[in-house]
Each structure stands twice: as structure tokens, then as C-alpha cells.
Structure 1
Amino acid sequence: MATIGTPLAQVEKSEVRGPLERREERLAWLMLLPVLLALLALGVYPALSTLWFSFQQGGSFGMGTTNAGWANYVRLFHDEQFWSALRFSLLYSLITVAGQMICGTALALFANRRFAGRWLARAAILFPWAIPTATNSVIWAYMFNDQYGLINSLLEHLGLMNPAHPTVWLGSPQLATVLIYVLAVWKANSLVALLVLAGLQSISDEIYEAARVDGASRWQILWRITLPLLSPVLLVTLILRTIESLQAFDLISAFTNGGPGNATQNLGLYIYLQIQQFGDFGYGSTLATVLMAITLVFIVLYMRMLARSGMR
């Protein structure tokens, strides 16, 4: 409907589309159709299937199940191992994402400076990300092995450890947890650095030159110019890293497999054990539904942050 004061010619031009516009619109939808079908097949359908299976019980791997109502969710609230895995997942996400964002941003600021051999420094920063996660975890597991690991061997040669009483790195819940945090930060801060570095490249040098002419110090430029201009990139990176950390599996599985005991077991590993080891597809789907809901909550919160920051 035309608004008061709008010329009729402009209304007709904006509301009436010609054959060319309609053909272009049909072509656009046709080109988007494979993507939409892939999203339905790989995203929406599995999510709805998981939700449906969360109300089932019995059978094996989703076959021959019967309706369980809310029994799986009632079981979940009384499952101490679930609450332990949930606590570890949330702490893992909070600590590792914070470490990745801080270290990755610092590395990006360093790699963005002009100095001889900058290309070599950038390649070294990306090296941890180039190694597959499972390979990284296995290498670290061998390094921190208490019998033949590299770390204990170095400590022994430096006289910092008694060979008769080696440090059991992965046998201590506290040490294993700390090592997982360090490994996760070391592995993924490369990706954060890459994304932040791309954002730094988009900031014009004229802005920095004007700030230096006005007498701004390096810290003032960082806090008042660089970081505010990087806020959209940092928020998007924060979303991606949070989602990945909540769904982490291969890093923990290959490094500690949830041990010692269940000290480093997160929700992803607990879901895998319920489905693959115990064949409890219904309860595993219930756990997966809860994890999916938690992830969606974080996504909504971050999207509100993006909206408040003015991103479109």
C-alpha cells in the first residue's frame, strides 16, 4: 500500500516487477534449492529425529524402540554422571574459548606488524591448526606419558624429577584437566588468529596515522581504535569457538578418553558412550537434545550481542 505523499510513479516502479526480475528471482531460488535441501537433510531432519528418539526407549541403535514419554528426561535429572559431564563441558568452553580469544588476538596483532620474516611467523602461527585434532591429542598423550613421555624425560635429565617417582600427568584429575585446557587453547588459537588477522587487514592505515598525529599512544590506539573496529570479527569468532567447544569430542577422546575416571568426560563423549558402548539410543538422543538446546541458547545470546553491536 502506498504511503501518503509517495508519488504514484515511484509506487508503480517499486511494486510492479517486469518479466526479467521475475526470471531472476526464480533462477535465484533454483540455485538456492540444493543448499536448502542439504540443510534440511543434514540439519533439520537429524535434529528432529534426535528430538523424537529422545522420547523412545528399548531397541538398539534406534531400531525397535517404544514410546517412553518423559522417562529419559526424568532419568537425566537424576544422573550424576550427566551433571558432572555438563559441568566439565561448560568449564571447558568458558576457559578454553577465553584463552583462545586472548592468545589468538595477541598472535594476530603480532603477525600484523611489519618486520622481516613476517610470512614465516604467520606460517608458524597456523601450524597447530594444520595438524588434525586427533593427531595433536595422540602426540600430546605420548609426550605426557609417565613412563616414556618426552616431558618426564626432560624433567629427569634436568634433575627436576625423581625417576623413581615420575609425574603421572594423565593419572591426576587436576593435571589432566589443566592439560586438556592447554591443548585446546594451543590447538585453536591459530584459527582465532587467522580470523582476527583478516579483520586487522581491513582496517585502513589512514585511521592509525590520524590517531598518531593526534598524539595517541599504542595502548590508546589498541583500546580505542583497533579493538572497537574488530568487535564484529571478535563476536563472530566467539560464536564459532563456543559452538565448537561445547561439541568437542575428538580432542578429549584421543587425549584422555574422559579419564582418569570421569574427570575429563564432557557431554559429547558421554553421548558417544551411551549410544556406541551401551547401545542406549533413546537416552543418548536425550543427552544430545539437551546439548543442542544449550548450544542454541548460546547462539541466541551471541546473536543479541551482534544485534546490539549494530551488525546486520
Structure 2
Amino acid sequence: MSTLTTEDRAGRLPAESPGRGPGRGRGRWGRWLTGWAFVLPAVALFLLMGVYTIGTGLALSFAKWNGLTPEWIWVGFQNYLDLLYADPVLAPELRRAAWNTFQVMVAVPALTVAISLPLAVALNSVRRLRGVLRSVYFLPYVTTGIAVYYAWRYVLEPDGAINVLLGSVGLGSLSQPQGFLGNPDTALPTLILVLVWSSVPVATLLYLSGLQAIDPNVIEAAHIDGAAPRQVLRRIVWPLLTPLTAAIVLLGVRDALHGFQIFLIMTNGGPGGHTDVLGLQVYRLSFMKELAQTLGLASALGWMLFAGALLLTLVNARLLRRIR
């Protein structure tokens, strides 16, 4: 076995040690530059479409602009004050839209959870045609939203399928001569049910994945101890699915705060503003006020919605940590 002599050890320079040569440094810099060359297009696109757009939108919320003139009129916090109380025309409309949004934000997640969890439990216990049933229940989610909304609007018209069906089975007193979307008392609840119908598939799929992740031995032990199926669902399954429930509720809140397509296509906020929501107000202020300097108001309202969604997300995360 050969060993290094004293002269060899003394003569070896630090620069000659492995990993410290000049070639090693050049190779590291070359890999670093190569990596950035691949990432740079995505970073540039994010800076252009993300950071620049967000910064411009925030600045626009403190100005008035109609989208055509080259200059903005800076007004400071006046846009926010007009939305909250200062504008005698706009502020009452926004308060009514906020109340409708709140109803949707509470009803849609609650009904989604109440329907999707039992449905997921039933589908999870099915042995035959499980894949077919899951595909059938997931179909509303993969169907084009605009086409579905137009179909629902046709079904809910005065001479639509629902009124015809109610009359044919002797329940004509429940039918709506002006249509379910034309009656101020039924318009918003009807849209809530349509939203629940479209959100249940995703929630059911999430609950199915959560149910399949639960250890079967835990359920079997509960049954051996004499627990009824309802007790197993309430005492064991439901606590284990709490994180998924929080995610489903958060998705429903997000759709209520930012979604407006269904309200635009099916009712356009009518009748008489009974289905007007904040997301639809942002759309109107942005695109429906021709030659009016309302883009700043739309941006301010959008940032207020963002702040509300962020606050609810933080509260949801805090509650979830406490539950865990």
C-alpha cells in the first residue's frame, strides 16, 4: 500500500485540491447560466403578465380612467370611499350585491358539503358499476359551463321543462308563470341550486379520495365495537375528512366572491337586482360603462374582493390548524 511522502504532502498546493480548480468554478457558473437560460422565458412572462399587471391594477384603483385616454386622473382613496358609502347611487347597489354574494357564499358551500359527503359515502360502498356511476356524477363538471347555463335557463323558463313537469304530476301550484328566474323570490335560490349542482362533482371526488385514504381497519374496529353506520360517519369519518371539507368550503367561497358567469348569462343581475353579485358589478364597471371613468372603481372593487378572499383564507387556515 503506497503512502504520500512528506515532500508530496508539503508540495501539494491548495489550488490543486479536487473541486477547487479554476475549471471547477467555470463549470458551476456554466450550469447556473444554462439553468437561468431555460427558466428566463417563464420568469419574464410572469413579470410581464403577473407582477406588472398586478401593480398596474393596484395603481389604477387610486385613479379614474375610461380605458381610452392616455392619462389617468388620480383620486387617491376616493374610489374606495365611493364604493363603500360616498356615492349615493353606486354604494346602495353594491350593498345589495354584497348581501346577495354573502347568501351565495354561505349557501353554496353548506349545500355542497351536505350533498357531496353522503353521495361520496354511497359511491364508495358501491361494488358494481362504480366507475360508471362516478363518471355520471362527474359529468356536470366537465360539461362546458356556458352551454349548461343556457340549458338551465331554457329549462327554467315559464314554458320550460320544470313548469311542464310540475303541471303534469298535479303540482301546478308550485310552478312559476313568470319562470323561476323571473320571480324575485325564487331567482337567487334557483341560481344557488344550479351552482351547487355544478360544484358537487368536484366535492364528491375529493371526498371519495379522502374516504379511500382512511384505513379500513379503523372502520372495521368501530363496527366490531357496535358502532352504527351513522355513528361511524359522525365520529370517525367526518373528523378525518375535516381538511377536505375546509378545502371544499374555501372553493365555494372563492366561486361566490369572484364568479359571475352564471349570473351574467342566466339573469344579468335581474329581476330588479335580486341576483346581482359583486363579481358581476366588477364586470359591469369594467366593460359595460362606455366612455365612463369607472375602470378605477372596478379595480378598487376587485382589490376589495381580493382582500376579503385573502382574509377568509387566513381564517380558514387558522381554524384548520386548531382542528388538527
Q: Name the TM tier (shorter chain).
A: 0.7 to 0.9
Paired AA for residue 298 in structure 2: G
1:159-184: CA deviation from partner (whole Å, max 9, x where unpaired): 5438xx82432211111111001101
The question of whether the paired residues in 2 share the 8 Å contact of 1:62 and 1:282 is answered with no
The correspondence of residues 172-191 of structure 1 with structure 2, limited to 5 A, is 172-191=183-202
Q: Bigger shift: 153-162 or 197-206?
A: 153-162
TM-score (norm. length: structure 1) = 0.83
Question: What residue in structure 1 maps to residue 252 of structure 2?
Answer: 241
Paired AA for residue 220 in structure 2: E
Q: Bigger shift: 43-52 or 100-109?
A: 43-52
The question of whether the paired residues in 1 share the 8 Å contact of 2:109 and 2:248 is answered with no
Paired AA for residue 193 in structure 1: T
Question: What residue in structure 1 maps to residue 299 of structure 2?
Answer: 285
Give the superposition deviation at 1:229.
Answer: 1.3
Give the superposition deviation at 1:303.
Answer: 1.4
What is the alpha-carbon distance in structure 2 between the residues aligned to residue 225 and residue 275 of structure 1? Answer: 48
Matched, 1:301 2:315: yes
Paired AA for residue 66 in structure 1: I
1:247-272: CA deviation from partner (whole Å, max 9, x where unpaired): 11112111111111211011111111
The correspondence of residues 1-312 of structure 1 with structure 2, limited to 5 A, is 40-60=47-67, 63-78=70-85, 79-146=91-158, 148-161=159-172, 166-279=177-290, 280-310=294-324
The question of whether the paired residues in 1 share the 8 Å contact of 2:137 and 2:201 is answered with yes
The question of whether the paired residues in 2 share the 8 Å contact of 1:253 and 1:269 is answered with yes
Distance 1:300 1:169, change over 3 A: same
Distance 1:309 1:156, change over 3 A: closer
Paired AA for residue 108 in structure 2: T
What is the alpha-carbon distance in structure 1 between the residues aligned to residue 296 and residue 69 of structure 2? Answer: 7
Give the superposition deviation at 1:48.
Answer: 2.9
Distance 1:240 1:157, change over 3 A: closer
Which consecutive residues of structure 2, in runs of 5 or more, have no partner in the other structure?
1-19, 86-90
CA RMSD of aligned residues (A): 2.9
TM-score (norm. length: structure 2) = 0.80
Distance 1:178 1:306, change over 3 A: same
The question of whether the paired residues in 2 share the 8 Å contact of 1:95 and 1:181 is answered with yes
Distance 1:225 1:178, change over 3 A: same
1:53-97: CA deviation from partner (whole Å, max 9, x where unpaired): 111013326853211112212211231111111111111111111
Question: What residue in structure 2 maps to residue 4 of structure 1?
Answer: none
What is the alpha-carbon distance in structure 2 between the residues aligned to residue 93 and residue 61 of structure 1? Answer: 35
Paired AA for residue 187 in structure 2: A
Distance 1:39 1:104, change over 3 A: farther
Paired AA for residue 306 in structure 1: L
The question of whether the paired residues in 1 share the 8 Å contact of 2:156 and 2:163 is answered with yes
SS at match of 2:125: coil
Question: What residue in structure 1 maps to residue 11 of structure 2?
Answer: none
Larger Rg: 1 or 2? 2
What is the alpha-carbon distance in structure 1 between the residues aligned to residue 41 and residue 207 of structure 2? Answer: 31
Report % sequence identity: 29
How many residue pairs get matched? Answer: 289
Give the superposition deviation at 1:188.
Answer: 0.5
